[in-house]
C-alpha cells in the first residue's frame, strides 16, 4: 500500500512518519484491497492544547473513507483515526459480502 504524507505548518520528523505508517499499514489486516492512504497532519493556530489535527483518507475500490481527529499529539490523533477506519473498513467489507454472496 502506498502512503502519502502531508504536514501543514510544520515538518514531520521521521519517527512520527514511521509511527503513523506502521499504524496505517495495520489496516491491511482488516481489508486487503486498500489502494492507498493519504495522511494530512496540521497544527491549528489556536491557544488550545488539542491543536494537532490528523486526517487519514483511505482509498478502496469504488469508495474512499476519511477520518479526521483533533488531539494533543499527532500520535494520539493518528491512533484514533486508524481505530475509526478499522470499524469503517469492517463495515465496508460486510456490505460487500452482503451484495456478492
Helix axis angle, 74-100 to 14-25, nearest 10°: 20
Average the pLDDT over 15-43 and give the result: 96
Average the pLDDT over 55-65 and give the result: 96
Give the domains, in start order, of the chain with CATH numbers. Answer: 2-100 (3.30.160.100)
| pLDDT digits 0-9 by tens, 3-17 | 999 999 899 999 999
- pTM for the whole structure: 0.91
The whole-number pLDDT of residue 101 equals 47
Backbone φ and ψ of 19, nearest 5°: -60, -50
Average the pLDDT over 61-70 and give the result: 96
Q: What's the Cα-to-Cα distance from 79 to each of 18, 19, 47, rounded to whole Å?
A: 13, 9, 23
Amino acid at each position: 500500500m502506498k502512503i502519502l504524507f502531508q504536514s501543514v505548518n510544520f515538518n514531520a520528523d521521521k519517527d512520527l512518519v514511521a509511527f503513523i505508517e506502521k499504524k496505517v499499514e495495520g489496516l491491511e489486516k482488516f481489508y486487503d484491497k486498500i489502494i492507498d492512504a493519504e495522511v494530512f497532519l496540521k497544527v491549528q493556530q489556536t491557544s488550545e492544547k488539542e491543536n494537532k489535527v490528523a486526517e487519514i483518507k483511505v482509498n478502496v475500490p469504488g469508495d474512499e473513507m476519511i477520518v479526521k481527529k483533533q488531539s494533543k499529539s499527532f500520535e494520539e490523533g493518528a491512533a484514533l483515526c486508524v481505530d475509526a477506519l478499522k470499524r469503517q473498513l469492517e463495515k465496508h467489507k460486510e456490505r460487500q459480502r452482503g451484495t456478492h454472496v
